Amino acid sequence: MVEVIANLTWLAIVIIVAILGVMSAAFMATLFTRNKYKRMEKDLERNSKADKEDFRFGVLSIIVEEYKKAAKLNPNEVNTQAVIEKNFHRYYRGLSLAERFIKSSVSIMIILGLLGTFYGLTLSIGELVNFLSQSAATDVLNSVGALVEELISSVQGMSVAFVTSLFGIAASIIITIITVLFNVEDSRESLLVRIEEYLDNKVALKFTTRHAVMDASNPVDLDLVFGQELNKFADNIEQRLKNVFDNLGEKLTAAAVQNHDSVVGLQKSIETFEKSLQTFSENTRDFAEFNHNLRTNIERMDVSFADLVQDLKTSSKVYSKTTESIDALTNSIEKLSTNV
């Protein structure tokens, strides 16, 4: 293998170095990104057990503060997942880029291996074409040693093709195994789930308890609250019924239009079918006339053949009589010649 690599061209060596570089970068990115997510998850677990919030990662503090601001207005309608993903995309674009690079590294290494393959094949075919074009005008083919040396030099490009492809496939297999063992996406999903759980179970619980205490200290008129809720329920029912009837009217209109189109299409089909029947009847009438004419022509041909047979019989009789006359004339001539 060392001798093969030593005999490679500089471009093939560059391709192999690029494949190894992509593999190393993907390996380092996998370890770094997964370690980052794991450390953030441990930081979150440490704060979950403590009463005081002291995050080592600033993005966690920012997520918690934004969640608190949203929960102050309405703690029951906070989009926790949107808050988490927004801050992750804002402050950790590098990690997202690293994940995309890890996903694409396998394809990049295979493409680099294929590039070396096509380069080696092009090099080998070029050398072989030059050798064949030179051997056609010289006496190289008369020397077996020279022929073998030229063929070996022309086939050296094949080593470039196979070695680069081998490096590309081997590196892609290694990175695939590494991504299976150290899955970055699973670590990220686990971290996002733990953050969402922390916000919903710990941070939101404080706001729920605070609102309950405030409601207990400030009693309200139950009739007023019941009337407001009843009005909201009535408005909601009215709006939903309106939406249902609007959708039903639109669907009925669409069905009527579709039914009209179907009726028009059916009428066109019936008209086409009637035209086809009329054409078929005309063709049948023409066929009956053709049959009648054919029968008449056959009868006429039968009469003509009968006349022809009768004429042939008459001609045969005449021919027989003519033959007999010729025979009699021949006998008469022979007798005359005998007498003479």
What φ, ψ does residue 171 adopt, rounded to 5°?
Answer: -65, -40
DSSP 25-47: HHHHHHHHHHHHHHHHHHHHHHH
The answer to whether residue 222 is domain-embedded is no
The answer to whether residue 322 is domain-embedded is yes
| Interatomic CA distance for residues 294 and 145, integer angstroms | 87
The answer to whether residue 223 is domain-embedded is no
Contact 41, 191 (CB under 8 A): yes
Helices (H), the chain: 2-6, 10-49, 58-73, 80-91, 93-135, 144-181, 184-198, 204-217, 222-339
Of 196, 217, 238, the domain-final residue: 217
Question: Do residues 238 and 184 both lie within one domain?
Answer: no
Question: Do residues 120 and 211 both lie within one domain?
Answer: yes
Residues whose CB falls within 8 Å of the CB of residue 203, separated by 6 or more in sequence, listed in order: 64, 67, 68, 71
Of 189, 217, 245, the domain-final residue: 217
The answer to whether residue 41 is domain-embedded is yes
Question: Do residues 255 and 188 both lie within one domain?
Answer: no
Check residue 63 and give its pLDDT.
Answer: 84
Question: Do residues 209 and 246 both lie within one domain?
Answer: no
Residues whose CB falls within 8 Å of the CB of residue 120, separated by 6 or more in sequence, listed in order: 12, 157, 158, 159, 160, 161, 162, 163, 164
Tokens of 159: 């080593």
- Helix (H, G, I), strand (E, B), or coil: what is residue 53? coil
- Helix (H, G, I), strand (E, B), or coil: what is residue 51? coil
| The residue to which tokens 């050296």 are assigned | 156
Residues whose CB falls within 8 Å of the CB of residue 60, separated by 6 or more in sequence, listed in order: 40, 43, 44, 47, 195
Question: Do residues 22 and 119 both lie within one domain?
Answer: yes
| Interatomic CA distance for residues 42 and 57, integer angstroms | 11
Question: Do residues 140 and 31 both lie within one domain?
Answer: yes
Question: Do residues 200 and 320 both lie within one domain?
Answer: no
The answer to whether residue 224 is domain-embedded is no
pTM of the model: 0.54
| Residue 186 one-letter amino acid | D
The answer to whether residue 153 is domain-embedded is yes
The answer to whether residue 247 is domain-embedded is yes
Question: Do residues 333 and 192 both lie within one domain?
Answer: no
Tokens of 40: 């953030």
Question: Do residues 136 and 247 both lie within one domain?
Answer: no
Question: Do residues 122 and 202 both lie within one domain?
Answer: yes
Question: Do residues 148 and 199 both lie within one domain?
Answer: yes
Contact 264, 256 (CB under 8 A): no
Angle between helices 10-49 and 144-181 (to 10 degrees): 10
Q: Which ranges of the chain have pLDDT less than 50?
A: 140, 212-222
Check residue 23 and give its pLDDT.
Answer: 92
Contact 75, 204 (CB under 8 A): yes
Check residue 215 and give its pLDDT.
Answer: 46
Residue range of the domain that includes 337:
229-340
- DSSP class of 52: S
The answer to whether residue 326 is domain-embedded is yes
What is the tally of structural domains in the chain? 2
| Interatomic CA distance for residues 252 and 205, integer angstroms | 49
Integer angstrom CA distances of residue 240 from 51, 188, 233, 243, 249:
45, 40, 11, 5, 14
DSSP 112-152: HHHHHHHHHHHHHHHHHHHHHHHHTTSSGGG-HHHHHHHHH
Of 159, 187, 217, the domain-final residue: 217
Question: Do residues 267 and 149 both lie within one domain?
Answer: no
